[in-house]
Structure 1
Amino acid sequence: MQQMRLGMIGYGEVGGIFCAGLVPQLQAVCAWDLKLATAASAAPLKAKAAENGIILSGSMADLCAASDLLISAVTASNTVAVAQEAAAHLQAGTVFLDLNSASPGAKRQAGALIEAAGGHYVEAGVMTSVPPYGIRVPMLLGGAYAETLAGQLAAMGMDAKVVSPELGVASAIKMCRSVMIKGLEALVIESYTTARAYGVEDYVLPTLQETFPSIDWTEQGRYFFSRVVQHGRRRAEEMREVANTVHEAGFEPWMAAATAEKQDWVAGQAAEGVFQSLPAKAGWQAYADCLIASSKNSS
């Protein structure tokens, strides 16, 4: 692995975690992000890169020229566009690991572009939140080159399991899980906030605890609110891809589409500063109170 050069497409939270975790093991770790084109948004990325020993590339072409392994960690809606741009520059034999939460159809499109350019495309379904695990986050891999790459990733300390040589299978697993997980987040936010508005939360939560005793509904609520407030926009994008996944299977994605709207709405509230006064470990009640106050102010 000491001879491998990694190129990270997207130097946000996930890209930054993977770069920092892998830089001690590889010959070089480079990253490229659209935010580098603007001075204001580039400044924090440059500071993070300097701190972690990451080389920032000036363009996708530069990144591809310096990389044996490309990892794509961008917003879900850009999955195919990024693969198309990378395909125009990557060297033959380059491995392209796609971490993005996109539909099976999008992954197959991206894979076709990379393979036509002489690269090896591997899809990954990242099965839980990255920050608690870092590079050890559980991933499911798919694609003809998945078996080979899995061994290399294991040597880097990553937790990657091959599920199929066929593209789209790992993505389908991830997307079907997201119907439940992201949907539950949206349901909890709507249920808890409405219960708080009516003053009946002390009746509602005990009934949930009785029905599903293995879940700490108070702590789970706090976690769900905090994650959606922090990452609602990204979650909404993922849920639109989930809706595409459901549609590709031949069904109307009513639940996935509604979840995307709820996640996006909470993200919008966060962007407007509704939660800015809350401490890091605020309880779900504090988040709900902020939403209730915002609703009253806007009515």
Structure 2
Amino acid sequence: MSGTISLGIIGFGEVGSTFAREFLARGGVSIATYDILFDDPQKGPAKRELAESIGVRPAKSAADASKDARIVISAVTASNVLDVAGQAAGYLNQGQFFFDINSASPVTKKTAAGKVNASHAKYVEGAVMAPVPGPGIKVPILAGGPFAEEAAVLLNGLGMNVTPVTTEPGRASAMKLCRSIVIKGLEAIMVDCAAAAKQWGVEDEVFASLDASYPSIDFRQLAETMGGRVRQHGIRRAAEMREAAMMVEDLGMDPGLCKAIADAQERGADKK
């Protein structure tokens, strides 16, 4: 890709910092970022120093990070999605892309899209379909909205793995969250199954029985792998499942299962 593309990243946590580092390693970009923790007296200096150390300009505000950006990537928490989108609607310029990769309910994404598109910027919904550590910017992302195909061309040219799947905001997140009910639910089930079996000293028998029922799966290994994921990412997964609960409740369905999965994920997380 010829020339340099300016990126703004709102949220400089695990996802934002990983993407920034890998974009810069590939070259052809300049990046500014803003994170709410930049303003924290204790955590801010180290976070800004991290950004500078990898070649990212730490901005004074989200508007500052976005002012020259061709593409603005929103990588914040689910609870902040609408606030960030609403603020962005006030400072984005016509034609700028706002790539919302946060795990949020389809209704939340549709509302965010309405706010941003009203400013004549281009809202693009992103549903990240796998953990970012490991694949980094190559993580599969489903994109939705009227500008999804246009944005995918730009982002894939920067090394991303973005697949446009719909022109309707919300549908990509519905695909992600419906899948998450199974994946996060299975994690919660395996954690409780393994813990109870260990307490009773019947792990060998339980896993052998499960393996016999589903011979293609090594359930002992699955329990170990999923337990590690819950310990490391349970808080974030719980927040995602509460978004899934909102999704099914918006559909008139009982959100009890999704809420129970969220509680189990949070309960199993390492709080240190």
TM-score range normalised by the length of the shorter chain: over 0.9
CA positional deviation for 1:47: 3.4
One-letter amino acid of the structure 2 residue matched with residue 20 of structure 1: R
Count of aligned residue pairs for this structure pair: 270
Bigger drift between 175-184 and 70-79 goes to: 70-79
**Moved >6 Å (runs of 4+):** none
| Residues 1:155 and 2:148 are matched in the alignment | no
- Which whole-Å CA distance do the structure 2 matches of 1:211 and 1:79 have between them? 42
CA positional deviation for 1:217: 1.9
- Which whole-Å CA distance do the structure 1 matches of 2:210 and 2:55 have between them? 47
Matches for 1:184-223 after TM superposition, within 5 Å? 184-223=186-225
Aligned 8 A contact 2:9 2:75 in 1: yes
- Which whole-Å CA distance do the structure 1 matches of 2:214 and 2:262 have between them? 25
- Unaligned ranges ≥5, structure 1: 274-299
- Which whole-Å CA distance do the structure 2 matches of 1:72 and 1:212 have between them? 40
TM superposition score normalised by structure 2: 0.95
> Matched residues, percent identical?
40
- Which whole-Å CA distance do the structure 2 matches of 1:61 and 1:225 have between them? 39
- Which whole-Å CA distance do the structure 2 matches of 1:147 and 1:125 have between them? 14
Which of 61, 83, 86 is the matching residue for 2:85?
83
Give the secondary structure class of the aligned counterpart of 1:58.
coil
- Which whole-Å CA distance do the structure 2 matches of 1:136 and 1:34 have between them? 26
Aligned 8 A contact 1:31 1:63 in 2: yes
Aligned 8 A contact 2:8 2:73 in 1: yes
Aligned 8 A contact 2:7 2:66 in 1: no
CA positional deviation for 1:48: 2.3
Aligned 8 A contact 1:122 1:142 in 2: yes
Query: Equivalent residue for 1:9?
Result: 10
Query: Equivalent residue for 1:25?
Result: 27
Aligned 8 A contact 1:179 1:242 in 2: yes
CA positional deviation for 1:103: 0.9
Query: Equivalent residue for 1:54?
Result: 56
Residues 177-229 of structure 1: CA distance to partner in whole angstroms, max 9, x if unpaired? 00001111111111111111111111111111122222222222222112211
One-letter amino acid of the structure 1 residue matched with residue 38 of structure 2: L
- Unaligned ranges ≥5, structure 2: none
Query: Equivalent residue for 1:69?
Result: 71
- Which whole-Å CA distance do the structure 1 matches of 2:46 and 2:200 have between them? 43
Aligned 8 A contact 2:9 2:66 in 1: no
Give the secondary structure class of the aligned counterpart of 1:181.
helix
Residues 52-102 of structure 1: CA distance to partner in whole angstroms, max 9, x if unpaired? 111111111211213221111111121111111221211221100011111
Query: Equivalent residue for 1:279?
Result: none
Matches for 1:29-40 after TM superposition, within 5 Å? 29-40=31-42
Matches for 1:216-235 after TM superposition, within 5 Å? 216-235=218-237
One-letter amino acid of the structure 2 residue matched with residue 102 of structure 1: A
- Which whole-Å CA distance do the structure 2 matches of 1:86 and 1:7 have between them? 12
CA positional deviation for 1:42: 1.9
Residues 102-129 of structure 1: CA distance to partner in whole angstroms, max 9, x if unpaired? 1110000000010011210000111111
| Residues 1:121 and 2:123 are matched in the alignment | yes
- Which whole-Å CA distance do the structure 1 matches of 2:82 and 2:96 have between them? 17
Give the secondary structure class of the aligned counterpart of 1:172.
helix
| Residues 1:168 and 2:170 are matched in the alignment | yes
One-letter amino acid of the structure 1 residue matched with residue 238 of structure 2: A
CA positional deviation for 1:17: 0.9
- Structure 1 219/44 Cα, relative in aligned 2: closer, same or farther at 3 Å? farther
Give the secondary structure class of the aligned counterpart of 1:188.
helix
- Which whole-Å CA distance do the structure 1 matches of 2:209 and 2:33 have between them? 48
Residues 30-63 of structure 1: CA distance to partner in whole angstroms, max 9, x if unpaired? 1111111113212332332133111111111211
Give the secondary structure class of the aligned counterpart of 1:40.
coil
- Which whole-Å CA distance do the structure 2 matches of 1:66 and 1:154 have between them? 20
- Which whole-Å CA distance do the structure 2 matches of 1:214 and 1:53 have between them? 45
